[in-house]
Copies of this chain bind each other. A is one copy, B any other.
Amino acid sequence: MGNSLGNLYKLTTFGESHGPAIGGVIDGCPAGVELDLNKIQSELDRRKPGQSSITTQRKEPDQVKFLSGIFNGKTTGTSIGYIIENTNQRSKDYTHNTDVYRPSHADLTYDKKYGHRDYRGGGRSSARETANWIVGGAIARQFLKNIKISAYTSAVGNIFLDKDYTELDLNKTENNIVRCPDQATATQMIKRIEEIKKQGDTIGGVITCVIRNVPTGLGEPIFNKLQAELGKAMLSINAVKGFEYGSGFHGATMKGSEHNDIFNPDGTTLTNYSGGIQGGISNGMDVYFRVAFKPVATIMQEQPTINSKGEKTAIQGKGRHDPCVVPRAVPIVEALSAMVVADLFLQHRARNRD
């Protein structure tokens, strides 16, 4: 278990970073969705390594190849299989890690859980898996035509974008390599990442995501609430340490008289501390949330560690890694959001005819 996301729009994936390919199966996409395959590829390009000076310099084309479920440019309603070949896996980069447990990596836990693991590049725990999610999300977005999902970098380390999303022009997110729609802040963030990189270190950050035009009624009450499914999806990203929506942790400091969103006559609300969700169900307002990313565990500095026998040793990153994962995670957050919304959209539609 553990390799599938979703119920009615379901992605099931496989793949290690150093095998021949990663890939997956998208089950449940309705028939007749016209697919622009270039758009899918361009989402993959937003995630791919080597895209800018502040990402890993590893180059990988990440070319998706569809194998089924699409005919004459449209989905057939049957399962969509695809693969993305691994073309630039330098296993040699990892031979020094065969028996060493990298700090804050999943080496030890995989060994304890499975006994037998593919140690090259983290095996299945590699963030390469997220390319699969981009494919699943890119198709979901084309199905959900009218729903607009926009994520952006809102913090890198201690550099915070101190503006509410409503004050920003989210069309500007792609204008810079850190994917922050506020250019002044972006410049600071990039500078910070470059410094960190020079130190052989890494840094965390925060992504904010806004989903507009969500129809009222999405989300199943009790255990498949919209926020719970979004949170679960985000917490599936390797480096994510926290999730908050609407007023979030700040809301915990507020009083009810401040926090309640007063209705306008049309059912919209004056404020949106609720983050577009009431009782787990979308209310038609913008859904928005923030996702915290820890710093990448692989650093270019030497660190003490142990091997599988419990012997002390040391390790220093030799692969090509990201100093800050956040810019490349922006399309990942969007993709996961799209899959969650598509899934809940189908669940809702199953029981509603109009």
Contact = CB atoms under 8 A, between A and B. Distances in A.
A181 interface: no
Interface in A216-254: 216-217, 220-225, 227-229, 231-236, 238, 240-249, 251-254
B3 A257 contact: no
A196 interface: yes
A113 B280 CA distance: 11
A12 B25 contact: yes
Contact of A105 (B242, B279, B303): B279
Contact of A13 (B15, B25, B129, B229): B25
B21 A67 contact: yes
B299 A104 contact: no
A311 interface: yes
Contacts of A249: 206, 241-242, 244, 249, 292
A44 interface: no
Interface string A140-165: 00000000000000010110000000
A129 to B, nearest CB: 6
Interface in A329-354: 346-353
Nearest to A14: B81
- Bin chain A's interface residue count: 35 or more
A204 interface: yes
A260 interface: yes
A97 to B, nearest CB: 14
A265 B203 contact: no
A117 to B, nearest CB: 6
A94 interface: no
A289 to B, nearest CB: 9
Interface stretch (A53-61, A69-77, A172-180): A69-77
Contact of A222 (B13, B220, B231, B280): B13
A25 B32 contact: no
Given A3-B79, A27-B3, A68-B22, A236 B223 contact: yes
**Central interface residue in A81, A123, A259, A353, by most chain B CB within 10 Å:** A81
A201 B1 contact: no
